[in-house]
Amino acid sequence: MSTTVRRILAQKDPAVHSVGPDDSVYTALERMAEHDVGALVVLDGERLVGVVGERDYARKVILEGRASRDTLVRDVMGSPVVTVGVDDTVATCMARMTERRIRHLPVLDEGRLVGVVSIGDLVKAIIAAQAFEIEQLQGYITGTS
């Protein structure tokens, strides 16, 4: 059985941290630091319009000599947004992240934003699944399952 995004979301803090497209990058950085996250979804009202993360800041603000207080999130966010659904598997998420070279995926359920999965969330799920499988195999081999 493959682990789904729904299962990953059930095991983590349900809060989805966001910023608006007209907020400054500095505001986004403050919010990321406040919530100890590496990216935020960008919402225009309730509409998902982008994702902004630490890499965007490093590459599109710092390296371009911009000021974070004067640069708007809309000017550096990743868009269009790559998303996954709650019933997608870890393998599907990993494939999308690898293909697009991204680290965070907003999760939609019937078009509604319900969470975000990070590369760290996926790695934890893979490690847990492997540990369970190893335990089952050891039990089978030793006859203690």
- The pLDDT tens digits of the residues spanning 57-72 come to 999 999 999 999 999 9
Residue percentage of the chain with pLDDT more than 70: 97
CB 78, CB 102: distance < 8 Å: yes
What range does the domain containing 77 cover? 5-142
HSE, CB side, 13 Å, CA atoms: give it for residue 70: 5
Q: Check pLDDT > 90 for residue 34.
A: yes
Claim: this prediction has a pTM higher than 0.75? yes
With bands split at pLDDT 50, 70 and 90, how would you rate the model's confidence at 139?
confident
As a whole number of angstroms, the distance between CA 47 and CA 8 comes to 23
Burial per residue of 105-116, b for 16 or more beta-carbon CB atoms within 10 angstroms, e otherwise: bbbbeeeebbbb
Lowest mean pLDDT, pick from 34-43, 73-82, 123-132:
123-132
**Span 4-29, mean pLDDT?**
95
CATH number, domain at 47? 3.10.580.10
**Span 19-32, mean pLDDT?**
98
With bands split at pLDDT 50, 70 and 90, how would you rate the model's confidence at 145?
low
Average per-residue pLDDT for the chain: 92
Q: What is the pLDDT of residue 1?
A: 52
| Structural domains counted in the chain | 1
